[in-house]
Amino acid sequence: MDSKIEVYIENIGQKEKKSLWLHLPVREEKLDQLLYDLTGSETGLEYLLTEAVCPYFQVSEQEDLRMLNKTAGIIERLDDQDRILLKAWCDKREQGVADAEEIANAALQTNQMVYLDEAKDGNGMEEYPEAYRVYDFSGHPKGIVLDDSQVDEFLFDREELLGSGAEELLERAAVIGAKREQKNYLKACMRAASAQAVRPGKERGWER
């Protein structure tokens, strides 16, 4: 599955022009050193991403390379189905152009999407509109995303994302997701109990 992310980095504002292609993710220490060598600055911010290969979303010239690298590190740990679900999430928001921070959060929560796999649940999928359909990286139909409203693209802020490892973030997101599911289940139970508390009686108006 061709789901790699690569960027072409060019320094700006320097007498000596430097540029290179970089396959993401890389270790944070290596990225810091690379940006220092490229820009001559400790902050390593004087660069543009003039080209990119990314099957999930459009990479802007001013994209934060450190945040993009973190996003790529999270994606690298997803299985094929979760990568396809992330692509579907990004495709749905193509007009809004979500940034790398929001996409990183979405990548941590693909298990919160309600998904029907065409190979397992193919019957009746033709009834769903195109907006629900999911395609792999070769353009082949894979299934239907019924609901992605539980994905919180602001689950972790930039400092939390950059300050934590990808595995730790995936574990924390899974815990938060499980607690959210439990809370939603309890709310559903309470609504059902409330509906049963007062109901029409068979022989008289209302009974408790």
Per-residue pLDDT of the chain (208 residues; tens, 9 = 90+): 567 899 999 999 888 899 999 999 999 999 999 999 998 887 888 999 999 999 999 999 999 999 999 999 999 999 999 999 999 999 888 765 678 999 999 999 999 999 988 767 666 667 788 888 898 998 888 889 989 999 999 999 999 999 999 999 999 999 999 998 888 778 778 887 877 775 565 555 555 4
At 77, is the secondary structure helix, strand, or coil? coil
Residues in the chain, overall count: 208
Each domain of the chain, given as residue ranges in start order, spans 5-200
| pLDDT at site 1 | 54
| pLDDT at site 120 | 73
| pLDDT at site 206 | 52
Identify the H or E element spanning 176. Answer: helix 166-197
d(CA 65, CA 39): 13
Task: Count CB-CB contacts under 10 A for residue 89.
Answer: 24
Task: Count CB-CB contacts under 10 A for residue 128.
Answer: 14
pTM of the model: 0.84
At 1, is the secondary structure helix, strand, or coil? coil
